[in-house]
Amino acid sequence: MTRYWQAKNQFFQTDTTAKYLTDKLSIAPPRVDLLPVQGSFGWVVETLRLDSIATFTLALGLISSFDQAAGSVISACLNDANTTQPTLALAQLLWDLPGQVLAIADISHPLWRYGLLQPANTNQAGVDWHSPIVVPPVVANSLLFPNSDLPQTLALLKSESHSLFERANLVALRLRTRAKDRLRVVPLRSAIGASASVVIQGISQVTQRPVVELQSHAALLENTAYLKSLVTFCWLQNLDLFIRVDTLSCQSCDAQRRHSYLLPLQSIPIAIFLEIRERNELTHLPNTLLLPIVEVPHLSYENRVQYWQECLDSTAPHFNREIAECARRFRYEKETIKSICEALKSVPQVLSETTLFSACRAELDLDIGELAQEVRPRFTVSSLVLPPKQQALFQEIHHAMRTLTQVHYGWGTARVWNESGISVLFAGAPGTGKTMAAEVLASLLDLPMYRIDLSQVVNKYIGETEKNLKRLFDLADVSDTILFFDEADALFGKRTEVKDAHDRYANLEISYLLERMERFKGLAILATNRKKDLDEAFLRRLRYILDFPMPDIPERKRIWQQVMPEKVDASQIDFDFLARQFPLAGGHIRSIIFNACLQTAEGFSLESSNPPQLTMEPILIAVKREYDKLNRSVSLEQFGSYAKFIEGIDRQ
């Protein structure tokens, strides 16, 4: 290490440039009363109390960030044309006391710990002597230009005064008073749509520290080096950081490791406000980092009404009823309500009930993924054929959803019933009209409808079914929605006597489904072919139970007539005979007519002026095929005088 000292000293004494630089470096540092700017190079040196070698190494790492000519100089110093970035080996070569550089190689040194320098790679002993040492660009920008703008991935939260509830206020006081010697994580558990930024703004008022939000895709969190550079930047600029978790982008993540990217940041003394959905997302983080979880409240119905009125301003008094309905049906937070109102004001048209509700629906982005499929209603109320008793109950369900806002908030039932919507059981054999009835309700109520196949939601792994259901209801609770749970037998069929853990969890899953249906704020419809599998305790938890019986003769005749395509000549069809002879459900009748049309269409031309005509022969053949498909027997006697059409079918 000492063999070059004599030559080096002679160089600095005889070379004009070297002597000039030596004189400049020997100038006394600025007076203490001239405090450096927050986040600048001088501020870092003073705050971390860096010694001369640490200051030199930081400057060496910084040089390549702002001087493109540094690369050739570094290559010349190292006598290596391939090395253009500074290294610890270069620092040792240039420093008068090379042994002092050993302290910098320790990965726990503040230069590395605070993220001011980033090594290309590390080993257990420390930093590789020949690996480049680099100051991250956002950090270099702060060190050199401390008053420059924020990086594009960070946005300053507006400083607004908000009242804090007890837990949030206690957390704010702890942030303000506790020693700022390490990272502190403030988890904020919020339901989908709830605005965590409002709570953070209130905490920021107490701590007197600005907060910036990370505005980027969640995949950025996988780039630990870049994230650490942003956290270092926040420390330099006296900022705290808000990470808003995009739940959908984390569906495939292991919940227990979802926030493990925070672990390398533990030594940087800022507060990170971390939005979470579930407590188990934090299990991978040490308790020393965590502050108590802050629950983010939803806007209440009254708050939503008030905010709608504030945002709509002078037009609000003319739409009190519509605002009340919007506030119940669309459980949006302030940010969403504000953006909707701004969009409505920017459109040059008169505000109406239609435009208000359309704007609210347009804002709804219910991405349930593979758990559900959106259903576009195909049927109107005239398509639904039910006995008088069931028809009356169907109308009651319709009226109940229509008057829910008035009864909950006008008559005062919301608190007692937890603002819940309507939960219904549709029970009946396949094809009796359960799905059709749900679609008719969606059409009448003008609500989005989602079909959930419970056979797909039910998971063979213990506890996974409940997680799927929770995610589904949490997403759907943002707005009034019809959730139609089809194939419920997949869940009810598992309900048996408790013999093992799987049986016990099967029963818990049923209970959880019914409990969430009870407090779901929209319309939840459970369809089953096996009502008998539900005990009375479960049935009592449902608001309505609508049984779909097999249609009798008059109802079957109406169904046969209604499902006939409007452009088809049905004058040759004996509807009385079909209704009397074949006790089929509406779904089977619809399938028969469709199959008969398919077999008849080949003989008709689209250019023909005469309408296509259906006769009894293709219909009765389709009837026979439908019975065969259902594995049900049908005798020739049931076909009466039309038996000749199907006599040879079984021999074909």
442, 377 Cβ separation under 8 angstroms: yes
**The residue to which tokens 């505005």 are assigned:** 215
Domain final position from 255, 270, 296: 296
Same domain, 436 and 574: no
Comparing C-alpha atoms, which of 637, 377, 351 is closest to residue 484?
A: 377
Domain range for 567 is: 553-645
Q: Looking at the domain assignment, is residue 368 inside a domain? A: no
Looking up tokens 């040089």 gives 63
At residue 248, the pLDDT reads: 35
Question: Do 211 and 130 sit in the same domain of this protein?
Answer: no
Does residue 650 belong to any structural domain of this protein? no
For residues 391 and 540, state if they share a domain: yes
> Do 519 and 379 share a structural domain?
yes
Look at residue 652 and tell me if it is in a domain: no
Among 111, 110, 107, 109, which residue's Cα sits nearest to residue 124?
Answer: 107
Residue 542 sits in the same domain as residue 438: yes
pLDDT of residue 252: 42
Amino acid at 482: I
Tell me, yes or no, whether 398 and 354 share the same domain: no
**Listed residues 296, 313, 346: the one ending a domain:** 296
Residue 189 within any structural domain of the chain? yes
Is 379 within the bounds of a domain?
yes
Q: What is the pTM of this model?
A: 0.71
Output the CA–CA distances (angstroms, integers) from residue 294 to 156, 169, 258, in the order listed: 21, 10, 19
Tell me, yes or no, whether 279 and 415 share the same domain.
no
φ, ψ dihedrals at 36, nearest 5°: -70, 160
* Dihedral over alpha carbons 261, 263, 265, 268 (to 10 degrees): 150
Q: Say which CATH number the domain at 279 has.
A: 3.40.50.300
Report if residue 386 sits inside a domain: yes
**Is there a domain that residue 491 lies in?**
yes
Q: Where are the beta strands (DSSP E) in 225-270?
A: 240-243
Q: Does residue 515 share a domain with residue 437? A: yes
Q: What is the mean pLDDT of each run of 10 residues along the chain (652 residues)?
A: 65 73 68 74 93 92 82 84 86 84 88 87 68 90 92 85 82 83 88 78 90 79 82 94 65 52 81 86 84 87 90 84 88 87 82 85 75 88 92 95 89 83 92 94 92 73 72 85 82 53 58 83 90 76 92 94 91 94 94 92 75 91 93 90 81 60
DSSP string, 149-182: PPPTTEEEPP-------HHHHHHHHHHHHS--SS
Give the separation between CA 592 and CA 613, rounded to whole angstroms. Answer: 15
Asked if residue 137 and residue 202 are part of one domain, the reply reads no
End position of a domain, from candidates 244, 264, 296: 296
pLDDT at residue 43 in the model: 94
CB distance 47 to 38 below 8 Å: no
Comparing CA positions, the residue from 288, 310, 268 lying closest to residue 181 is: 268
Residue 476, class by beta-carbon neighbours within 10 Å (0-12 exposed, 13-18 middle, 19+ buried)? buried
Q: How many domains does the chain have?
A: 5
What's the rounded Cα separation, in Å, for the pair 183 and 180? Answer: 8
Amino acid at 341: C
Nearest one of 514, 515, 470 to 488, comparing CA atoms: 514
What does the block give as tokens for 165? 């509830």
Sequence-ordered list of residues with C-beta below 8 angstroms from that of 375, at least 6 positions apart, any chain = 438, 439, 442, 449, 450, 451, 484
| Residue matched to tokens 């390490």 | 182
- What is d(CA 400, CA 89) in angstroms, rounded to the nearest whole number? 78
Is there a contact between 367 and 248 (Cβ–Cβ < 8 Å)? yes
Whether 527 and 382 share a structural domain? yes
DSSP secondary structure letters along 277-324: S-GGGGTTS-TTTBPPPEEEPPPPHHHHHHHHHHHHGGGGGGGHHHHH
Can you tell me the distance from the alpha carbon of 215 to that of 371, in angstroms, rounded to the nearest whole number? 28
Beta bridge partners of 213: 155, 242
Asked if 410 and 528 sit in the same domain, the reply is yes
Is 326 domain-assigned?
Answer: yes
180/289 same-domain check: yes
CA atoms within 13 A on the CB side of 44: 30
